Chains A and B, each alone.
Chain A
Amino acid sequence: MQIKPILAALRRHKAGTVLIALQIALTLAIVCNALFIIQQRLAHMSEPTGIDEANLLVISNQWAGHRSPQEVDAQIQADLAALRQLPSVRDASPSDGYPLTGGGWDNYVMLTPEQIEKTTDASVYMGDEHMLDTLGVKLIAGRNFNASEVMQMTSRQVVIPPVVIVTKALADHLFPDGSALGKPIYSMSSTPSTIIGIIERLQRQDVKTWSKPYAYESLLWPMREDTDGLYYIVRAKPGQLAAAMRAVPQALYAQNRMRIIDPKDGGNYAQIRERIYDSDRGMAILMGIISAVLLAITAAGIVGLTSFWVGQRRKQIGVRRALGARRGDILNYFLTENFLISVGGVMVGTVLAVGINLWMMARFEMARLSLAYVIDGVIILLLLGQLATLAPALRASRVSPVEATRST
Chain B
Amino acid sequence: MFAYYFELGLRSLRRNPVLTALMVMAIGFGVAASMTTYAVFRAVSGNPLPDKSGQLFVPQIDNWGPQSRKTGGDLPESLSYTDAMALMHAHKAVRQTAIYPVGFTLVPVDPSSQPFAVNGYAAYADFFAMFDVPFQYGSGWQGVDDDNRANVVVISNELNQKIFAGANSVGRGIQLDGRDYRIAGVVADWDPRPRFYDVNNGSGFGDAPDVFMPLTRAIDLQTETLGNNNCYGTTGQAPGWDGWLHSECAWISLWVELPDANAVARYQSYLEAYAADQQHAGRFHWVPNIRLSNLMQWLDREHVVPKETTVSLVLALGFLLVCLVNTIGLLLAKFMRRASEIGVRRALGASRRQIYTQFLTEAAVVGVAGGLLGLLLTAFGVLGISLVFEPEIARLARLNVSLVGFTLLVSVAATVVAAFYPTWRAARVQPAWQLKSN
Contacts and interface: CB of A to CB of B under 8 A. Distances in A.
A80 B255 CA distance: 44
B107 A258 contact: yes
Contacts of A297: 25-26, 29-30, 322-323, 326
B224 interface: yes
Given A23-B325, A283-B388, A15 B332 contact: yes
Nearest to A189: B234
Contacts of B45: none
B178 interface: yes
Interface stretch (B151-159, B266-274, B303-311, B358-366): B303-311
Given A157-B240, A228-B103, A290-B33, A62 B117 contact: yes
Interface string B4-34: 0000000000000011001001100110010
Given A116-B233, A260-B105, A278-B391, A364 B311 contact: yes
B319 A64 contact: no
Given A15-B421, A287-B315, A297-B326, A305 B333 contact: yes
A289 B36 CA distance: 13
Interface string A315-330: 0000000000000000
A199 to B, nearest CB: 27
- What is the predominant secondary structure among interface residues of chain B facing chain A? helix
A279 B387 CA distance: 9
Contacts of B332: 15-16, 19
Contact of B326 (A23, A257, A259): A23
B105 A64 contact: yes
Interface in A78-126: 116-118
Contacts of B162: none
B308 A16 contact: no
A26 B29 contact: no
Contacts of A305: 329-330, 333
Given A26-B322, A297-B29, A311-B337, A282 B243 contact: no
Given A279-B308, A305-B329, A65 B107 contact: yes
Given A29-B318, A157-B239, A290-B315, A304 B330 contact: yes
Contacts of B178: 65-66
A286 B40 CA distance: 13
B343 to A, nearest CB: 14
A298 B326 contact: yes
A15 B421 CA distance: 9
A308 B105 CA distance: 71
Contacts of B322: 23, 26-27, 30, 294, 297-298
B19 A62 contact: no
Contacts of B70: 117
A382 B33 CA distance: 25
Nearest to A154: B240
Nearest to A304: B330
Contacts of B105: 62-65, 260
B19 A304 contact: yes
A260 B30 CA distance: 47
Contacts of A298: 322, 326
Given A158-B239, A286-B388, A298-B322, A64 B115 contact: yes
A19 B329 contact: yes
B315 A30 contact: yes
A66 B177 contact: yes
A360 interface: yes
A16 B333 contact: yes
B279 interface: no
Nearest to B388: A282
B17 to A, nearest CB: 12
A279 B33 contact: no
A19 B325 contact: yes
Nearest to B241: A156
B328 interface: yes
Contacts of B237: 158
Interface in A144-172: 155-158
B179 A66 contact: yes
A305 B22 CA distance: 11
A171 B222 CA distance: 37
25 contacts: A16-B333, A22-B325, A26-B318, A30-B318, A33-B315, A62-B103, A62-B105, A63-B105, A65-B178, A117-B67, A156-B241, A156-B244, A158-B243, A258-B115, A278-B390, A278-B391, A279-B390, A282-B388, A286-B37, A297-B25, A297-B323, A298-B326, A300-B25, A311-B337, A364-B307
Q: Which 7 A-B pairs have the closest CB atoms?
A: A64-B115, A308-B333, A282-B388, A301-B326, A66-B178, A64-B105, A19-B329
